Chain A
């Protein structure tokens, strides 16, 4: 029996393993609620990155859970929604975005108790997790097979004239002047693609063109053929789908018959356009879950589908995702869109993620309509919709109190009552974006983006600080030498009004503030429909350029180097509500190079960043120097040998403050302020992967080690009572996946994580042992699995808070192909949680959970 080794990408196994894991980060003094996630440190280029996370220490429902990600040189984070799975949330960074040498990401969860959790939990935006992208190994191309022309059958029907020796042969090496050009023997063609063509000259042999006879399915079609001295062609019309044949008989220049040629071919039922058009593809699913988590029933249902296809030049895609968790008190969880596109014009209705300008609008979800006209020399992209839907707050009308010291917020009200808001709602936020551009973008493009975002003040009753935002900026791209030399630049200027409730400021009000001598060229009230201007508008003085942002990058791909150099500056007051995750008040340059050696078997990566955070010093705080050095080496020796990835990152933070500050004596609690910051963060990651054969079995082995440590230069002189800034963490992972000679696969995995914070005052350790077995039955129609995962955690996050628990997770289920392209999946889980700490503990008391799921899918 011929055994086929499973072709499992090393990176996928590693990801599958490490995303089965959970890790608890540094939660000293924070709420018990936390995101538990095992960071991904490397991923193969061009493959989906699957991230998993779970929530601990909370029974609140999850409003949303997202992955925010970007390339290091980008300013803005994109996000992807994570979907609930068995006791975890799962999200994917799509393969087409897994490029370059690194990706940065963090996770964010919004709970219905209005708590936002992130991973990393501290400053995730500025200190995200980093994934090293390992390049695809050079694939050795198989030897090109020489043309091997098959021997066809002898003619099915005898020719009407005296039979000449017949062969079915298309090789030019035979003793015939006939050389078959089209179609190839047994080729399948669309009906309108069939052209019978035979050359009458083959090397030094020549057929007499006047003697040529052509038969198509037994019919003599010679009069309809086009015959010249060297070539005979015939285009049959109205060929039915199915098998056909043709025969050519001829004589050489001496009148001797030459071996006739008979060729069989097949006509498909489609035209050439239908053949090349993308087939319709679709997929629908429904998913029911019964969850009993911590004695709470959390059942929900999901369903949806997606489809894509092409009709002529029109491509269409669509998607619908519906969930019973949809709630008007949260942002939408349902998703839907329909997109119709041609090369020149297109439109999308529903949830769209436009990309205009990296600084202004880059991948945020907008529910509305979008479209484009792409003529090449001139293009227009536009989008209109909402970025947030209204979510009403909680409040009431209260009588006005005569006493002082009332701390309730007042928004509006009558003379005798005022609004009391206990929870602020979310305004409906509308967006209009347009981007005209010149150039197709393949070699050159110059664009200008204009985006306006405004809160709808009438959408909710209990809200505050509705905003109005206008951003404009150019973008430029030049790509030469087939993309080996690329220049890319973005610019943007913003105006933001933080509270539009008062409306625009009038000229009279300006003069009241600044005096009668002030000469205002325009009345802000006249600009209300473009932007509401008042005293909450930033910047107040646009000429200082505090809301200017720009970024330029040069990329070079020559001599096995992939070089990237850039500079960016984001003003302290720059704001784009359509891109709210952009980091502000930072400027500096970055550089990275990836060198390919030895036929792409060895990759060396080096990167350097030098930024100044808070460079404007608007808040009088010192600027902080951020320097980062990255080094990585990846070795792909070739198939059958292990591959290795090593990376090291040193990140320095230095705010230039090396002395303590003393506050005035009126302060009764603290008279000394320690704002010194001089740290080195060192991250080390190593990954080894090896596909091997041992004991007649196929194995895929992965070993990973990661460590992160922060050292504080001022550790020895920190004031007593101040928490140490030093942290350390180390992660070890091991997995072995084995394929047996029976349809059985097993995966054994082990992982451990040790964390220390505050210089050792807080620690948390975690370990997991897992075994997964997969067995196929009925020729693979039924795929069953069973899994055991044993985890233990211990530590002390504060002098009074100890952690010591175990969680044993038992799972079994299977996928059954009930019919071709119909799959039904069943999944059952039992989780036994045992909290061993009786007092001063974190988390819940001991419990048993059951989670059951059934899912149906059909593929078209």
Chain B
């Protein structure tokens, strides 16, 4: 009887230890940081309930994000400054595994639209959807998963490999790759697309320093604003 109680207590302790953590270890915490939130966005970390996502929120491996109407979330990965923007009505989860080169990042997207600019020197980025996987070899692309789980990748720069169990294709700059559920990936030329990620930039300015032949320095500030 004592033995059984001991084993039961040990089991319960172990279970408590497991369930009391957020499911991520120290090496995959602070995987990414939320830089900007527009509109309604929520996140779920571990076993906690959904809560409002705000600027400055740190994201760990296993965290999920859900965006509402007219929402936009901008995220930066802490290991290599890769950027990610998630558009409205999307649901994604982040995962990462630290390696020597950095963090091997994974984004699981059930539905929605995203943009990513991946540092080619990082440990890699994969986007997993119901119809297939996009393995990013760098650097910039748009990803869309529709309500039926079909995936579209629009290559802006670099290469993205689209693959599922029926085959794989490479999507380059100016190309669009698609995977319909149950079909092999296809690639074609990009016709038109909404470059929405670029519209998110606000005004800024650039300082340029000039030096004349006499060594005198002068600075010019150029202010620019999005159209």
Using Cβ atoms and an 8 Å threshold, which residues of chain B touch A266?
Answer: 204-205
Interface pair B78/A199, CB less than 8 Å apart: yes
Interface pair A343/B205, CB less than 8 Å apart: no
B119 within 8 A of A: yes
Q: How far is the CA of A231 from the CA of B79 in the complex (A)?
A: 9
A596 within 8 A of B: yes
Q: Which of B166-212 contact A (CB under 8 A)?
A: 173-174, 189, 191, 202-207
Which partner residue on chain A sits nearest B206 by CB separation? Answer: A186
CB within 8 Å for A482 and B203 given contacts A199-B78, A233-B56: no
A172 within 8 A of B: yes
Residues 117-149 of B, flagged 1 when their CB comes within 8 A of A and 0 if not, give: 001010000000000000000001000101100
Residues 199-243 of A, flagged 1 when their CB comes within 8 A of B and 0 if not, give: 101011000000000000000000000101111010100000000
Using Cβ atoms and an 8 Å threshold, which residues of chain A touch B202?
Answer: 188-190, 268, 275-276
CB within 8 Å for A268 and B203 given contacts A172-B81, A182-B33, A230-B30: yes
Interface pair A482/B58, CB less than 8 Å apart: no
Q: How large is the interface on B (under 10, 10 to 19, 20 to 34, 35 or more residues)?
A: 35 or more
Using Cβ atoms and an 8 Å threshold, which residues of chain A touch B205?
Answer: 186, 188, 266
Q: Would you give the shortest CB distance from A98 to chain B, in whole angstroms?
A: 15
Interface pair B207/A186, CB less than 8 Å apart: yes
Which partner residue on chain B sits nearest A181 by CB separation? Answer: B76
B94 within 8 A of A: no
A193 within 8 A of B: yes
Q: Which of A343-366 contact B (CB under 8 A)?
A: 343
Which partner residue on chain B sits nearest A197 by CB separation? Answer: B33
CB within 8 Å for A188 and B204 given contacts A172-B119, A195-B35, A228-B29: yes
Interface pair A482/B55, CB less than 8 Å apart: no
Q: How far is the CA of A195 from the CA of B140 in the complex (A)?
A: 24
Q: How far is the CA of A266 from the CA of B204 in the complex (A)?
A: 8
- Cβ 8 A contact of B101, one of A138, A172, A190, A203: A203
Q: How far is the CA of A266 from the CA of B35 in the complex (A)?
A: 16
Using Cβ atoms and an 8 Å threshold, which residues of chain A touch B150?
Answer: 481
Using Cβ atoms and an 8 Å threshold, which residues of chain B touch A192?
Answer: 55
B102 within 8 A of A: yes
Using Cβ atoms and an 8 Å threshold, which residues of chain B touch A23?
Answer: none
Q: Which of A665-679 contact B (CB under 8 A)?
A: none
- Cβ 8 A contact of B79, one of A201, A233, A235: A201
Using Cβ atoms and an 8 Å threshold, which residues of chain A touch B101?
Answer: 203
Interface pair B204/A181, CB less than 8 Å apart: no
Interface pair A182/B69, CB less than 8 Å apart: no
CB within 8 Å for A179 and B81 given contacts A144-B156, A144-B157: yes
Q: How far is the CA of A190 from the CA of B79 in the complex (A)?
A: 26
Which partner residue on chain B sits nearest A559 by CB separation? Answer: B188
A326 within 8 A of B: no
A150 within 8 A of B: yes
Interface pair A203/B102, CB less than 8 Å apart: yes
A528 within 8 A of B: no
Q: How far is the CA of A180 from the CA of B80 in the complex (A)?
A: 10
B100 within 8 A of A: yes
Q: How far is the CA of A192 from the CA of B79 in the complex (A)?
A: 25
Q: How far is the CA of A197 from the CA of B140 in the complex (A)?
A: 22
Interface pair B26/A199, CB less than 8 Å apart: no
Residues 17-50 of B, flagged 1 when their CB comes within 8 A of A and 0 if not, give: 0000000001001100101101000000000000
A600 within 8 A of B: yes
CB within 8 Å for A235 and B30 given contacts A188-B204, A268-B203, A481-B150: no
A95 within 8 A of B: no
Which partner residue on chain A sits nearest B35 by CB separation? Answer: A182
Give 6 new A-B contacts, CB below 8 A, not counting A181-B81, A268-B202. A144-B140, A150-B207, A172-B80, A186-B206, A229-B29, A560-B191
Interface pair A229/B26, CB less than 8 Å apart: yes
Interface pair A182/B76, CB less than 8 Å apart: yes
- Cβ 8 A contact of A343, one of B55, B58, B69, B144: B69
Binding site for A on B (CB under 8 A): 26, 29-30, 33, 35-36, 38, 55-56, 58, 69-70, 76, 78-81, 100-102, 119, 121, 140, 144, 146-147, 150, 152, 156-157, 173-174, 189, 191, 202-207
A658 within 8 A of B: no
Q: Would you give the shortest CB distance from B160 to chain A, in whole angstroms?
A: 14
A443 within 8 A of B: yes
Using Cβ atoms and an 8 Å threshold, which residues of chain B touch A138?
Answer: 191
Q: How far is the CA of A172 from the CA of B78 in the complex (A)?
A: 11
Q: How large is the interface on A (under 10, 10 to 19, 20 to 34, 35 or more residues)?
A: 35 or more
**Which 3 residue pairs across A and B have the least CB separation, nearest first?**
A231-B30, A199-B78, A144-B157
CB within 8 Å for A235 and B140 given contacts A150-B207, A199-B79, A443-B147: no
Interface pair B33/A233, CB less than 8 Å apart: yes
Q: Would you give the shortest CB distance from A342 to chain B, in whole angstroms?
A: 11
Using Cβ atoms and an 8 Å threshold, which residues of chain A touch B119?
Answer: 172
A599 within 8 A of B: yes
Binding site for B on A (CB under 8 A): 138, 141, 144, 150, 172, 179-182, 184, 186-190, 192-193, 195, 197, 199, 201, 203-204, 226, 228-231, 233, 235, 266, 268, 272, 275-276, 343, 443, 481-482, 560, 596, 599-600
Q: How far is the CA of A443 from the CA of B146 in the complex (A)?
A: 11
Interface pair B70/A181, CB less than 8 Å apart: no
Using Cβ atoms and an 8 Å threshold, which residues of chain A touch B58?
Answer: 226, 228, 231, 233
Q: Would you give the shortest CB distance from A410 to chain B, in whole angstroms?
A: 62
Interface pair A188/B30, CB less than 8 Å apart: no
Q: How far is the CA of A596 from the CA of B189 in the complex (A)?
A: 11
Q: Would you give the shortest CB distance from A481 to chain B, in whole angstroms?
A: 7
Using Cβ atoms and an 8 Å threshold, which residues of chain A touch B102?
Answer: 203
CB within 8 Å for A195 and B33 given contacts A144-B156, A203-B101, A481-B146: yes
Q: How far is the CA of A338 from the CA of B206 in the complex (A)?
A: 40
Using Cβ atoms and an 8 Å threshold, which residues of chain A touch B69?
Answer: 343
Using Cβ atoms and an 8 Å threshold, which residues of chain A touch B80?
Answer: 172, 179
Using Cβ atoms and an 8 Å threshold, which residues of chain A touch B156?
Answer: 144
- 9 pairs, CB–CB < 8 Å, chain A vs chain B: A179-B81, A189-B202, A195-B35, A197-B78, A201-B78, A231-B30, A233-B58, A443-B147, A600-B191
Interface pair A228/B30, CB less than 8 Å apart: yes
Q: How far is the CA of A192 from the CA of B37 in the complex (A)?
A: 11
Using Cβ atoms and an 8 Å threshold, which residues of chain A touch B191?
Answer: 138, 560, 596, 600
Interface pair B206/A235, CB less than 8 Å apart: no
Interface pair A141/B33, CB less than 8 Å apart: no
Using Cβ atoms and an 8 Å threshold, which residues of chain B touch A230?
Answer: 29-30, 78-79
Q: Would you give the shortest CB distance from B32 to chain A, in whole angstroms?
A: 9
Using Cβ atoms and an 8 Å threshold, which residues of chain B touch A596?
Answer: 191
Q: Would you give the shortest CB distance from B66 to chain A, in whole angstroms?
A: 17
Using Cβ atoms and an 8 Å threshold, which residues of chain B touch A199?
Answer: 78-79, 81
Q: How far is the CA of A421 from the CA of B36 in the complex (A)?
A: 71
Using Cβ atoms and an 8 Å threshold, which residues of chain B touch A201?
Answer: 78-79
Q: How far is the CA of A179 from the CA of B150 in the complex (A)?
A: 36
Interface pair B204/A187, CB less than 8 Å apart: yes
**Looking at B78, B152, B156, B157, which has the most chain A CB atoms within 10 Å of its CB?**
B78
- Cβ 8 A contact of B55, one of A179, A186, A235: A235
Q: How far is the CA of A199 from the CA of B78 in the complex (A)?
A: 6
Q: How far is the CA of A150 from the CA of B222 in the complex (A)?
A: 13
Using Cβ atoms and an 8 Å threshold, which residues of chain B touch A195?
Answer: 33, 35, 55-56
Using Cβ atoms and an 8 Å threshold, which residues of chain A touch B189?
Answer: 599-600
Which partner residue on chain B sits nearest A264 by CB separation? Answer: B207
CB within 8 Å for A141 and B174 given contacts A179-B81, A228-B29, A230-B78: yes
Q: How far is the CA of A268 from the CA of B26 in the complex (A)?
A: 37
Using Cβ atoms and an 8 Å threshold, which residues of chain A touch B140?
Answer: 144
Using Cβ atoms and an 8 Å threshold, which residues of chain B touch A272?
Answer: 36, 38
Which partner residue on chain B sits nearest A141 by CB separation? Answer: B174
Using Cβ atoms and an 8 Å threshold, which residues of chain B touch A235?
Answer: 55-56
CB within 8 Å for A343 and B203 given contacts A231-B30, A233-B56: no
Which partner residue on chain B sits nearest A198 by CB separation? Answer: B78
Which partner residue on chain A sits nearest B221 by CB separation? Answer: A186
CB within 8 Å for A181 and B78 given contacts A193-B36, A195-B33, A195-B55: yes
Q: Would you give the shortest CB distance from A376 to chain B, in whole angstroms?
A: 8
Q: How far is the CA of A199 from the CA of B174 in the complex (A)?
A: 33
